[in-house]
Amino acid sequence: MSTVATSFEKANWGKRLLIAIPYAWLLVLFLAPFALVAGISLSTVRLGMPPFEPLTAWDGSILNLRLNFENFLYVLTDDTYLLAYLTSLKIAAISTAAMLLIAYPLAYGIASCAPSSRSLLVFLVIVPFWSSMLIRVYSWMSILRNDGLLNALLLKLGLIAEPLRILNTETAIYIGIIYTYLPFMVLPIYSNLSSADKTLIEAARDLGCSRISAFWRVTFPLSLPGVLAGCALVFIPVVGEFVIPDLLGGADTQMIGRAIWLEFFNNRDWPMAAAVTIVLMALLVVPIVYFQSRQSRERT
């Protein structure tokens, strides 16, 4: 009896330790930092390191708590920040929609192939995702430049008289985002389509549905979970994207990820950057919670 109890207790301690290790890591390096960002967003910028005032100060026996809401008031009323948030949301929404138009037929096409060639095609979708994003964005720079390949080609074909300005415009940002995030959209849709029950489509066809209406009435509605997963996987990170707007976009298109970067490195106003980050998180809370609940439902 007692040996059973001790081994049970031992297993319990082992379990606790097992849970505690990843838990502690993520608490310290993932969750607690967010609390810090929230705290520092209420601080005041100062010279020195760290470049912000502490929130609390002892005045004799009195503990003073100074919460400065000026950063938030500024972020929420300043036109440049408001515009940056709206531009980021707009660019993310439009590029997510455009990506869906390219990714869905591709995923559908792959799912319609024989299983033996499917795995090769999926592998080919994954390769660009594994290769450096910076490099892939850079490759578009040399294509889209005024003296780049696309303009050279169009000039040679006589389609245009003088080079088009594409690099450093919003169009270039769209191209870059759609290109970079495409695999994230294709893979969830593909995995949904490839595990779909094909007898349902056969049944619809047997009952007189045309190929096209069978697709819209059976295949597409059933693939919506994959579509939504892909959209969430793309939309949320794109809103905060830095590299693509920085390298492909122009000075007139400000996205919020780049605004945070500039606030940090150029203005060195950390409390302001923290406030901008908190507002960004507030905008993304709904899609993130949706994504998480979906993912964990799928996994259980």
Partner 1 sequence: MTKPSWFNRLSILFGFAFLYLPIVVLVIYSFNGSKLVTVWGGFSTQWYATVLSNPSIIEGAKVSFLVAAVSATAATILGTLAAVVMVRLRRFRGRALLNGMLLAPMVMPEVVMAVSMLLMFVTLGIDRGPLTITLAHTTFTLCFATVVLQSRLVELDPSLEEAARDLGCPPPKAFVSVALPNMVPAIVSAWLLSFTLSLDDLVISSFTTGPGASTLPMKIYSQIKFGVTPEINAISTIILGIVVLGLVAAQLVSRRSEQKASVA
Subset of 102-131 contacting partner 1 (CB under 8 A): 102-103, 105-106, 108-113, 121, 123-128, 130-131
281 belongs to the binding site for partner 1 (CB under 8 A): yes
Min CB(25)–partner 1 separation in Å: 6
Q: How far apart are CA 247 and CA 244, in angstroms?
A: 5
If the CB atoms of residues 91 and 182 are measured against partner 1, the closer one turns out to be: 182
55 belongs to the binding site for partner 1 (CB under 8 A): no
Among residues 8, 13, 34, 74, which is the contact residue for partner 1, using CB under 8 A? 34
Among residues 84, 177, 186, 204, which is the contact residue for partner 1, using CB under 8 A? 186
If the CB atoms of residues 1 and 135 are measured against partner 1, the closer one turns out to be: 135
Q: Which of residues 229-248 bind partner 1 (CB under 8 A)?
A: 232-233, 236-237, 239-243, 247
76 belongs to the binding site for partner 1 (CB under 8 A): no
Min CB(62)–partner 1 separation in Å: 24
138 belongs to the binding site for partner 1 (CB under 8 A): yes
Min CB(115)–partner 1 separation in Å: 12
Min CB(288)–partner 1 separation in Å: 6
Question: What single string gives the DSSP state of each residue in the chain?
Answer: -HHHHHHHHHHHHHHHHHHHHHHHHHIIIIIHHHHHHHHHTTS-B-SSSSSB--SEEEETTEEEE----HHHHHHHH-HHHHHHHHHHHHHHHHHHHHHHHHHHHHHHHHHTS-HHHHHHHHHHHHHHHHS-HHHHHHHHHHHHSTTSHHHHHHHHTTS-SS----TTSHHHHHHHHHHHHHHHHHHHHHHHHHTS-HHHHHHHHHTT--HHHHIIIIIHHHHHHHHHHHHHHHHHHHHT--HHHHHHS-TT---HHHHHHHHHHTS--HHHHHHHHHHHHHHHHHHHHHHHHHHHHHH-
Site string for partner 1, 202-231 (x = CB under 8 A): ------------------------------
Number of residues that bind partner 1 (CB under 8 A): 94
Q: Pick the stretch among 68-76, 78-86, 220-228, 283-291 that binds partner 1 (CB under 8 A).
A: 283-291
